[in-house]
Amino acid sequence: MRKIAIAMAKGGVGKTTTAVNLAHGLAMQGNRVLLVDCDTQGQDAKFLGVKPEYGLYEFITGNDGRGATVARNEAVCLCRDNLWLLDGGIKLVELKNWLGEQPGNVRQTVLRKSIVPKQGSIDYMIFDCAPGWDVLSVNILMTTREVLCPVALQGPALEGLKTFFGYLMSAQRLNGDLQLNYILPTMFDKRTRQSFDIFKQLKKLFNKQICSPIHYNVRLSEAPSRGKTIFEYSRKAIGARDYEKLLRRIEDDGIKQKENPEFT
């Protein structure tokens, strides 16, 4: 089972768009995928057009916040064939407070010890991370082994990446298996020189991790308002083709990992 965190210190770079479309794309390929929304905005459910009753808060704490017990299977929402969601939302504020009250020696690993699927039941876990650094962020990076970092090709993109590296290095001191596997350029606009310039810098700095860019695409921004992924909304759009390239990259790496466990 592969665990991939979609993470970046800066908001508005396409983390949720990437997490949802990647998760659904992998599920369409026959993989069993658990998408975990770790953001208080709870956008993953909206992007998928579902309204789960429970989510990550109930899954971890075992209750609904009002005294009623919630079983873990009740907190997981089946939203597409082979695709399950642990919803985020405002209750994650309470979850962070709850995590902060746990003993110091277990606080950072609560998520890792809680989300343990039965052997062979899940092929991929995709974590849609919030920007910033807090006790939940630490728990996510203690749980995963791979990080995919979306970088918008506009504005001070490299500054946000620099900040994220600080977070990542702190996490790697606690989780030696954690690796930055993918740099995903997003919002590539062929009409602007800035997109080409930032992409060129990223390729120079991260030759092994760099992925094919996700182009600026109106269909990608329209799909969430319809409660659909790009594959459902407009399969022939450039955004769909871009995410198909990302799917192939990740699945090809999975094959390499099976053939050579030391591959990263």
Tokens of 256: 């390499």
| pLDDT for 262 | 56
95, β-bridge pairs = none
Tell me if 53 is assigned to some domain.
yes
Count of structural domains within the chain: 1
Tell me if 264 is assigned to some domain.
no
| pLDDT for 53 | 95
Tell me if 262 is assigned to some domain.
no
Tell me if 30 is assigned to some domain.
yes
| pLDDT for 68 | 92
| Alpha-carbon gap, residue 195 to 259, rounded angstroms | 36
| pLDDT for 261 | 58
Tell me if 263 is assigned to some domain.
no
Tell me if 12 is assigned to some domain.
yes
Q: Which residues span the domain enclosing 249? A: 2-257
| pLDDT for 142 | 94
CATH number at residue 119: 3.40.50.300
Cβ pair 13, 159 in contact under 8 A:
no
Tell me if 188 is assigned to some domain.
yes
| Alpha-carbon gap, residue 264 to 255, rounded angstroms | 11
Residues of the chain with pLDDT under 50: 264
Tokens of 118: 């039965």
Cβ neighbours around 37 below 10 Å, total? 30
